[in-house]
Amino acid sequence: MAGRDEGFFSSKDGTRLFWRSQVPDGQPAALVAVVHGYGDHSGRYQRVMSDLVARNFATIAFDYRGHGKADGARADVGHWSDYLDDLDAFFRKAKDLAAGKPIFLLAHSNGALIVTHWVAQKPEGVAGVILSSPFYALAFTPPPLKVLGARLIKRLMPGLSIGNELKAEQLSRDVAWQQETVADPLYLHNTTPRWFFETQAAQARLTGLGAAITLPVLYLAGGADPVASTPTARGFFDTVASTDKTWKAYPDFRHEILCEVGREEVIADIAQWISAHR
């Protein structure tokens, strides 16, 4: 029987974060450390974690600030670099669980944006990176008046909660998953002006960053993603300096490719890639 555990740990500034793990019996082949997307939380990856455990990979996931069971104002961030500090603390936790086994990062959407910046700093101990539907740009242009309003509000109330208008059907074609998302009390349906502009600035800072990424990397994207721009992700992928990089798009998949109809193909691709790089 695979083992499960969970608990809390702290980021650099003392913010309390949450982690959960699933591990197989015996010695795992590697550890997969999962970084969720925006509005998301680690609990929504338990099925993914179970699938990987069934393939003899240990797994650990966490809730970064403002999400899930972590502390912090919901859907907000003081400075985007706080996410990098959270990931630093999480990776230390992952290394403890890995006990010398290779560590792979599996990051989705905003988590993929965080990990992209983080691995460009060349941290030690990462065997490879899998980026799912990276949030390098929106797949649509937000209404100019809404952006202007957010800019004005940011000056006075940067942490004001505003609905993000994202619909469950934009995430996946799986109706059961859509219903589970809507019913999930920890899934966020709001954003803040501060988060929007901090993230937009982080996306702008991607320019030229590909040259600093030399780790093995696997990019996975949905060809019908209405949330994160797949063409932008592909454009950045082309700039990545790694000599070991792979791109794969799933034609009809929407944003949450790990929770899509036909997700078994994605899990199989991830497991095969990890096995080839451990």
Q: Which domains does the chain have, with CATH numbers?
A: 3-277 (3.40.50.1820)
Sign of CA dihedral 112, 118, 120, 126: negative
pLDDT of residue 144: 63
pLDDT of residue 105: 98
What three-state secondary structure class fits 129?
strand
pLDDT of residue 145: 60
pLDDT of residue 146: 67
pLDDT of residue 149: 63
Per-residue model confidence as pLDDT tens digits over 135-166: 999 997 766 666 666 666 666 667 777 877 78
What three-state secondary structure class fits 229?
coil
Partners of 239 in the beta sheet? none
Token pair in block for residue 53: 């455990």
Whether the Cβ atoms of residue 47 and residue 120 lie closer than 8 Å to each other: no
pTM: 0.95
| Closest among 134, 148, 75 to 106, alpha carbons compared | 134
Per-residue model confidence as pLDDT tens digits over 16-42: 999 999 999 999 999 999 999 999 999
26: left (phi over 0), alpha (psi -120 to 50) or beta: left
For residues 80 and 164, which has the higher predicted lDDT (pLDDT)? 80
Mean pLDDT within 225-248: 98
How many residues can be counted in the chain? 278
pLDDT of residue 158: 73
Whether the Cβ atoms of residue 240 and residue 115 lie closer than 8 Å to each other: no
- The C-alpha atoms of residue 3 and residue 12 are separated, in whole angstroms, by 29
Is pLDDT above 50 for 72? yes
Mean pLDDT within 244-268: 98
Summary mean pLDDT of the chain: 94
Is pLDDT above 80 for 230? yes
The pLDDT > 70 percentage for the chain reads: 93
| Closest among 136, 133, 135 to 221, alpha carbons compared | 133
What three-state secondary structure class fits 116?
helix
Token pair in block for residue 272: 């095969």
Is pLDDT above 70 for 237? yes
Is pLDDT above 90 for 272? yes
Is pLDDT above 70 for 197? yes
37: left (phi over 0), alpha (psi -120 to 50) or beta: beta
pLDDT of residue 166: 87
- The C-alpha atoms of residue 126 and residue 105 are separated, in whole angstroms, by 7
Question: Which pLDDT band holds residue 1 (cuts at 50, 70, 90)?
Answer: very low
